[in-house]
Amino acid sequence: MRALSFPVTAALVLALAAPAGAIAADNWQNLPGSLQLEPLGDSLRMNGTPMTIRAFQSREPAETLLREVQAAWERDPGHQPVRRTSIPNWTVLNQTVGERHRSFQVREEGGLSRGFVALTSPRDTREPRLALRLPPLVLPMQVVDSVDQGKVSQQVVAVSRRSVDATAAALEAALKAQRWERQSVQKQGAVVRLSANRGGEQFDAVLSAQKSGALVMINTVK
């Protein structure tokens, strides 16, 4: 199985920002047989919403895949219309049926078509619980909880209204207050990297300067 990464989840959160929708649990992807699907994690929640994600790559042109998937989805009994949208570097198909929602996103890269197909269950959403209580003025925008091969991880994308240095200092104070032990702090230009541990848990954060403050990307594993 593939480890989750911030580029993957950032792309998927845009693709899945659509109304909720119900799809049969069996063969919910309904994709061309030529696509080889690879699971991303054993279980996954994005902002508290359960998700099932599969990655794929194909030698077929992206436009061919988009036409085939849209036609297959629109033939499904009880379907709703398939909506096609574009976000930077990606083309996305979204469809809702009943209480679930599915999406297909693809782009061409390195001579191949690469992408993801995902199923979400919005009615089962629950409030995510952060592994680290964030300091004031650091606001979480995206929280991804996943389990992959027994490893439990959480990825948080947050924004801060303070500078990188001030935000890093606030994070260090929060870690200390919550009994994390700092391992390292490294600064390279406008980027600060911070790591800590607590028993068998590992914390890593990357902070980068933004016009209005700082972008904070956090990964915890236990």
Task: Let me know: does 84 contact 92? Beta carbons within 8 Å.
Answer: yes
pLDDT at position 18 is: 39
> Do 70 and 149 share a domain, yes or no?
no
188-140-39 Cα angle (round to 5):
90
Per the domain annotation, does 61 fall within a domain? yes
Q: What range defines the domain where residue 108 resides?
A: 6-124
Tell me the three-class secondary structure of the chain, residue by residue. CCCCCHHHHHHHHHHCCCCCCCCCCCCCCCCCCCCEEEECCCEEEECCEEEEEEEEEECCCHHHHHHHHHHHHHHCCCCCCCEEEEECCEEEEEEEECCEEEEEEEEEECCEEEEEEEEECHHHCCCCCCCCCCCCCEEEEEEEEEEECCEEEEEEEEEECCCHHHHHHHHHHHHHHCCCEEEEEEEECCEEEEEEEECCEEEEEEEEEECCEEEEEEEEEC
φ, ψ of residue 88 to 5 degrees: the values are -50, 120
> Do 117 and 151 share a domain, yes or no?
no
> Do 18 and 98 share a domain, yes or no?
yes
Q: What is the pLDDT along the chain (222 residues), one digit of tens a residue?
A: 333 333 344 444 444 443 333 333 445 778 877 788 888 877 899 999 998 888 999 999 999 999 999 998 998 877 789 999 998 889 999 998 778 889 999 999 999 999 999 988 888 899 999 999 999 999 999 999 999 888 999 999 999 999 999 999 999 999 999 999 999 999 999 999 999 999 999 999 999 999 899 999 999 999
pLDDT at position 27 is: 57
Per the domain annotation, does 132 fall within a domain? no
Per the domain annotation, does 47 fall within a domain? yes
- Token digits of residue 4: 């989750």
Task: Let me know: does 207 contact 168? Beta carbons within 8 Å.
Answer: yes
> Do 28 and 102 share a domain, yes or no?
yes
Q: Specify the pTM.
A: 0.72
CA–CA separation, 71 and 75 (whole Å): 6
CA–CA separation, 42 and 91 (whole Å): 26
Here the CATH number for the domain that contains residue 206 is 3.30.160
CA–CA separation, 132 and 150 (whole Å): 20
Q: Examine the fold and report which residue of 60, 91, 124 is the final residue of a domain before the chain moves on.
A: 124
CA–CA separation, 182 and 50 (whole Å): 32
If one counts the domains in the chain, the total is 2
48-42-183 Cα angle (round to 5):
75
Tally of CB atoms within 10 A around 221: 18
With a CB cutoff of 8 Å and minimum separation 6, the contacts of 109 are: none
pLDDT at position 39 is: 82
pLDDT at position 105 is: 95
